[in-house]
């Protein structure tokens, strides 16, 4: 007697909860979609466990990549940086590159003034635009002024939602139990 595997199983792949649905009608194709925040992967029932596991990992990576593409791109971020520099810093901060990074776990943003590069944590994606703008402006100001002395804060004091944005980020850090700072 052949062992029958359950038709629907929950599994966790790379921190993502996945519902794997096995269908006897499905012959070869594998597909995936989001349903109420959960990822559903449809696989042919006749697939071996090893094959299925491999496909599920592939589909999780594929969905994650396409979701990321839909979020703000580095190009959008660069354009926004130049706008903010013009509006609040007299256009004096001119970054050589501005990009999203996913490997930054302890800071919202960072910059290398010597190289003029700015990096923003992709954890900011999905947060309100005025919060992302604040982090971007903060890093832009560091291109002109290192450290957090009075001169630094004077540079960005014109940003209308400065305190609100800082409060928002502190709130998120505290809720998530993260030591993320807006440095």
- Give me the residues that bind Zn ion (CB under 5 A), please: 183
Q: Which is nearer to Zn ion, 60 or 93 (CB)?
A: 93
Angle of the 129-144 helix axis to the 162-176 helix axis, nearest 10: 110
Q: Are strands 97-101 and 117-121 parallel, antiparallel or unpaired?
A: parallel
User: Which residue's Cβ has the minimum distance to Zn ion?
Assistant: 183
Please give the Cα distance from 169 to 183 (Å, whole number). Answer: 11
Distance of CA 16 to the CA centre of its chain: 15
CA distances from 65 to 59, 76, 140 (A): 10, 18, 28
């Amino acid at each position: 007697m052949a062992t029958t595997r359950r038709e629907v199983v929950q599994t966790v792949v790379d921190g993502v909860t996945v519902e794997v649905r096995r269908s006897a009608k499905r012959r070869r194709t594998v597909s995936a979609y989001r349903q109420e925040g959960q990822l559903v992967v449809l696989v042919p029932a006749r697939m071996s466990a090893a094959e299925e596991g491999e496909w599920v990992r592939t589909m999780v990576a594929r969905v994650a990549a396409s979701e990321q593409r839909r979020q703000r791109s580095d190009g959008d971020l660069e354009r926004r940086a130049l706008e903010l520099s013009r509006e609040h810093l007299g256009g004096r901060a001119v970054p050589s590159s501005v990009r999203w990074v996913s490997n930054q776990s302890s800071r919202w943003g960072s910059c290398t003034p010597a190289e003029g590069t700015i990096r923003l944590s992709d954890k900011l994606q999905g947060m309100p635009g005025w919060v992302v703008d604040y982090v971007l402006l903060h890093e832009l100001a560091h291109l002109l002024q290192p450290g957090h002395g009075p001169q630094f804060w004077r540079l960005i004091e014109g940003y209308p939602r400065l305190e609100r944005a800082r409060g928002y980020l502190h709130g998120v850090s505290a809720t998530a139990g993260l030591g993320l700072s807006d440095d």
